Amino acid sequence: MFGKEIDKEIEFERDGFHIKCLQHYLCDGSEDGFYEDGEFIGQNLLLRQDAFRKAAGLLPSLEIKGIREKYHLSQKDFSLVLGLGEISINRFETKMVQTRPIDDTIRRSFDDPSWFLMKFESYSNQMSPEKAREVENAICDVIDSKTNLSQDLEKTIRDFYIHYREPSSKNGNKELNYRAIASIAYLANDRGMPLTKTKFAKLLFYCDFVSYRQFESGITGLVYTHNHYGAMPLSFNSVLALPYFEIIEETYTNKAGECCLTDFISAQKVKSLSAKEEKIVSSVLNRFLKTKTSEIVDLMHQEEAYIQTKDGEIIDYSFAKTISIAL
């Protein structure tokens, strides 16, 4: 290999995304004398593919490889366990971009290791008994680690809610219910609603307070505080870190032409809401289906629940009677 190695940032458009990424070149010393040799051609292709995957909210090649290696599986075996064919994972780790359904399947293999264990059990007879036990142990290790992480997060949340264990107008006369929170997120996802953290917090607030206005009982058991962007659930970041949720990072170009990142929330399909709760949630989601995050924040700032409280204060559910939306 001849010439000096340099890195150069390039920009390109793909599927509506404006993307920037570094590329590796060799320089022959002349003006604009950049070129790729055989090694860099493959590396640069993968860098461009991974930059697009990040913009599109898909797993990058190293994360796919990392999931596979946690399970001690070869590329071929990992592909076959997931039903993707013999060489799919090899391609996704080296040069090809996976489709979103395939991305969802790969994600689920790590997010839901118990499901992956069932998939593996139907394939394990194609391995030696020793290798099958090795893989099963690796999968069980992932299950244990996720269980411990979830327990740690739930303890953190319980600590924040230690003073709100009893039913009161602080928590909407409701015990904290993670599955109900996930159900609301899933129903929003199912309607195709882009769900940023700020918008989701406001949707939860309106679902809970509308329910309290009608039945003197909220839906989620969340406690809300006055925040710069409106009502924000207590320990909200910890709640969203629970296994029910996935944060998807997406890239967009703002009006100034700058490349920016934003996070969108995706939730597992769970069934937790009663019929009357689901009716309220559906009504709230329909009300805000076409509402931008900035618009729902502006509406929140006009609510008495926000006006009559100060930064960091608990927003009591007694303000439910003043909520502006009529459903």
Exposed / middle / buried, residue 81 (Cβ in 10 Å: 0-12, 13-18, 19+):
buried
Residue with tokens 């366990």: 81
Segments in the chain forming alpha helices (H): 38-56, 61-70, 75-81, 88-94, 100-111, 113-121, 129-160, 178-190, 197-215, 236-240, 275-287, 293-301, 304-307
Ranges of residues in the chain whose predicted pLDDT is under 70: 1-3, 28-39, 249-262
3 state DSSP class of 114: helix
Q: What is the pLDDT of residue 40?
A: 73
Q: Cβ distance 207 to 182 under 8 Å?
A: no
Beta carbons within 10 angstroms of residue 146's beta carbon: 16
DSSP assignment, residue 242?
S
The owner of tokens 């060489």 is 87
Domain ranges of the chain: 4-56, 61-151, 163-322
CA-to-CA distance for 77 and 226, rounded, in angstroms?
51
- DSSP bridge partners of 302: none
- CA distance readout (Å), 310 to 224, 227, 230, 234: 12, 8, 11, 15
Torsion of CA 195, 199, 204, 209, to 10 degrees: -150
Query: Could you tell me which of 205, 253, 256 has the C-alpha nearest to residue 227?
Result: 205
Cα dist. 102→28, 58, 109, 155, 209 in Å?
42, 10, 11, 34, 39
Token couple for 310: 């100060």
CA dist., res. 111 & res. 104, Å (int): 10
Residue given tokens 């890195």 in the structure block:
7
pLDDT of residue 87: 86
Measured CA to CA, the distance from residue 71 to residue 141 in angstroms comes to 9
In the structure encoding, which two tokens stand for residue 162, read together? 């230690």
DSSP 318: G
- Cα(277)–Cα(267) distance, integer angstroms: 18
Instruction: Give Cβ neighbours of residue 308 (< 8 Å, ≥ 6 apart).
Output: 319
Q: What is the pLDDT of residue 303?
A: 96
